[in-house]
Chains A and B, each alone.
Chain A
Amino acid sequence: MCLCKRRGSMYGLIRTRVFTRDNDMNADRRKFIKQTGWTLLGSGILVSVSSFFPAAGRAMQKGSAHELYGFIVNTKRCIGCGKCVEACKTENHVPEEFFRTWVERYIITADDTVYVDSPHGAVHGFKDTDVKGNIEKSFFVPKLCNHCTEANCVQVCPVGATYTTQEGVVLVDEKHCVGCGYCVQACPYGARYIHPERRTADKCTWCYHRVKKGLMPACVVVCPVEARLFGNLKDPESRVARILREERIGVLKPETGNSPKTFYVGLDKEVR
């Protein structure tokens, strides 16, 4: 506009042209704003819709720059003493009828019958089996929260009370949880429960309060046979990272797409 005024009638033609260009610019600007608006809206919708779907199957979450915790259970080592369950109960004040961790015993007989038990989570270990018949193999499998990379429980929590920390630990904010129990239903491993006194969701935290002080989870510390290991997956020198590199590893229910960070050495096909 200013340009036109200065040039005045002398450059009538130019004035017209400049005006036209100015109009074009206005139109272009409008078009640009409109297009940008639509693009932003479109991508906004796309992002929100895509965030509704989990990126199932992704190998590992990024975590913070240096730390991503992982847990290894060596079923070949576990002797079913139940010390881990007891330590967990004491350390975390777990209510008597619920479990943040437990141990299962599998007995498979020659006729392919599978017997599984976990008397009171194996907090007192196991008694001799009364299974009759020719026992072909038997083993113990410690269970705990899998701290999944694509955790179902995190996905379904309607208020964001269940979340994943930078180090890949899945936690529950008990001050925000409404106690709807949707996460309990969504966990395929039965690792969650509603705490009877707090009336919020509760589960294994890999003893986050200890880990942040540089200590190991209570169950790892008391295990007499090193069937449980915990460490930083991003440190190539850590035992967990080394075992992951060197051993044949399984995870529970991989078909769910949850990508657990609790890994099992010597996992049998009968274990669910």
Chain B
Amino acid sequence: MLEAVTQGFLYPNEVEVLWSLLIVLYPYITGLVAGAFIVSSLYHVFGREELKPVARFALVAAFSFLLFACTPLLFHLGHPERAFNIMFTPKFTSAMSGFGYIYTFYLIIVALEIWFVFRPDMVRLAQESTGLKKLFYSLLSLGVFDVSEKALHLDHKITTFLAAIGIPSACVLHGYVGFLFGSLKSNPWWSTPLMPVVFLMSAIVSGIAVLIVSYAIIMKLKGKTVDSGCMQSLCGYLWGFFIVDVTLELLELISMGYEGEESWAAISQLIGGRLQFSYVVLQFIVCSTIPMVMLGIVSLWKLKESTRNMLGIISSVLLLIQVLAMRWNVVIGGQLFSKSLRGFTSYMPQFFGREGLLVALILFAMPFVTMYIINRILPYWEKE
């Protein structure tokens, strides 16, 4: 790690930032899960037909992100081989002890939902193929080949049910991540009951944004056009959730400043100093104002399709950066000032190493690789 640049007085054990870039990545990936799942559920539970083109993709994306949501934590833990202690010897006074259970429960829900949604495809592929491939798809379908209307109707009912439990689970999973930080009274930058809600809203924002960007890129690669109604709807939801998200983020800051507790002196210095670029410039000025205006235009005015798509994609990219910046500002920002409120340290991630930038990039790329592999096995784009 690069030598920390300190200023003022820190308790001597605080010089080194303990929760690194990977702990920024963990809530970021978890957030993408929640957002993607909400989009898939808008179609499956709430019958938003216009989202049908991305509904299956959203579900697979949620599953792929979820598979890798824990990996940054495992790389960070001092003893990853003891990771299962959290499930075998949980201590329920700790908010963190619920993680294993919440995560596993949610993973099962999403995996089951994927199985039910893709069952007809598995059966079709099993019937169309031969040899090992046939065996593979037969195993995947667990030997259930009934695709009668009655069976599919039942599948649909189960999918709706799973998606319906999935929504509160997604909210719990992400609200919980926010609670991990929000419940620590030792840190005034983290300790706010708004934290779980802020995390949840920004999670949904990032999830919708990643779907918009991926959808646009994949359609471009396939030489197809994006579905107009779907894009319009996604942009509308993105705008709506982002309004709530950014309002809460600002509310949190304003309350902190207005209450002006003892810690405010340190926090205001932090915002004006070490977090100035990532918080003030990136999170608010650039990546909040611009998408807010752009998405407002997209949602309220009738634009040319290509212009609308372009604005939607730019906004989504900016919002993906906004949410990443928010995670950084919370996780890293909260460790840059001393709990003595008298000094600051610094953090710059290394490139190589267990918790470096390279590992973070690889871990972040893995869900996309998974999506590609799943698409090879079970093509999730609807045939036109």
- Whether A associates with B in a native complex is yes
Chain A residues with a Cβ under 8 A of chain B: 48, 51-52, 54, 97-99, 102, 104, 114, 116-118, 120-121, 143, 152, 154-161, 176-182, 184-194, 198-200, 256-257, 272
- Assess whether B14 is interfacial by the CB under 8 Å rule: yes
- Assess whether B90 is interfacial by the CB under 8 Å rule: yes
- Sorted from nearest, which 10 A-B pairs have the closest CB atoms? A179-B78, A190-B11, A199-B78, A158-B96, A160-B91, A188-B186, A116-B9, A158-B97, A159-B85, A158-B94
Q: Chain B, 85-97, contact with A by CB distance < 8 Å: what is the 0/1 string?
A: 1100111111111
Contact present for A189 and B339 (CB under 8 Å): yes
Point out the residues of chain B lying under 8 angstroms from A272, CB to CB: 339-342
Contact present for B83 and A155 (CB under 8 Å): no
List 19 contacting pairs A-B, 8 Å CB cutoff, sorted by A. Answer: A52-B92, A52-B93, A97-B15, A99-B13, A104-B9, A155-B94, A156-B93, A156-B184, A158-B94, A158-B99, A159-B86, A159-B90, A160-B89, A176-B82, A178-B83, A186-B186, A194-B18, A200-B78, A272-B341
Q: Once the chains are docked, how many angstroms separate the CA of A179 from the CA of B339?
A: 21
- Assess whether B214 is interfacial by the CB under 8 Å rule: no
Contact present for A157 and B91 (CB under 8 Å): yes
Of all chain A residues, which has the CB nearest B85? A159
Point out the residues of chain A lying under 8 angstroms from B180, CB to CB: 182
Contact present for A118 and B12 (CB under 8 Å): yes
Of all chain B residues, which has the CB nearest A115? B9
Point out the residues of chain A lying under 8 angstroms from B80, CB to CB: 178
Q: Chain B, 5-39, contact with A by CB distance < 8 Å: what is the 0/1 string?
A: 00001111111101100000000000000000000
Point out the residues of chain A lying under 8 angstroms from B18, CB to CB: 181, 184-185, 194
A contacts with B: majority SS: loop
B contacts with A: majority SS: loop
Q: Once the chains are docked, how many angstroms separate the CA of A143 from the CA of B9?
A: 14
Contact present for A199 and B338 (CB under 8 Å): no
Contacts A99-B12, A143-B11, A188-B185 known; A194 to B78 CB distance under 8 Å? yes
CB distance from A123 to the nearest CB of B (A): 9
Point out the residues of chain B lying under 8 angstroms from A51, CB to CB: 92-93
Tell me the count of chain B residues lying within 8 A, CB to CB, of chain A.
Answer: 41
Contact present for B12 and A178 (CB under 8 Å): no
Contact present for B185 and A121 (CB under 8 Å): no
CB distance from A269 to the nearest CB of B (A): 11
Q: Once the chains are docked, how many angstroms separate the CA of A181 from the CA of B16?
A: 12
- Assess whether B79 is interfacial by the CB under 8 Å rule: yes
Question: B19 contacts which of A97, A121, A159, A181 (Cβ < 8 Å)?
Answer: A181
Contact present for A102 and B12 (CB under 8 Å): yes
Q: Once the chains are docked, how many angstroms separate the CA of A272 from the CA of B337?
A: 14
Q: Within B114-157, which residues are at the interface with A (CB < 8 Å)?
A: none
Q: Once the chains are docked, how many angstroms separate the CA of A5 from the CA of B211?
A: 76
Contact present for B12 and A120 (CB under 8 Å): yes
- Assess whether B373 is interfacial by the CB under 8 Å rule: no
Contact present for A186 and B79 (CB under 8 Å): no
Point out the residues of chain B lying under 8 angstroms from A156, CB to CB: 93-96, 184
Of all chain A residues, which has the CB nearest B183? A156
- Assess whether B192 is interfacial by the CB under 8 Å rule: no
Point out the residues of chain A lying under 8 angstroms from B377, CB to CB: none
Q: Once the chains are docked, how many angstroms separate the CA of A104 from the CA of B76?
A: 31
Question: A117 contacts which of B9, B77, B95, B187 (Cβ < 8 Å)?
Answer: B9
Point out the residues of chain B lying under 8 angstroms from A194, CB to CB: 18, 78
Question: B86 contacts which of A118, A178, A181 (Cβ < 8 Å)?
Answer: A178
Point out the residues of chain B lying under 8 angstroms from A181, CB to CB: 18-19, 76, 78
Contact present for A180 and B77 (CB under 8 Å): yes
Point out the residues of chain B lying under 8 angstroms from A191, CB to CB: 11, 13
CB distance from A103 to the nearest CB of B (A): 10
Contacts A178-B83, A178-B86, A184-B18 known; A157 to B94 CB distance under 8 Å? yes
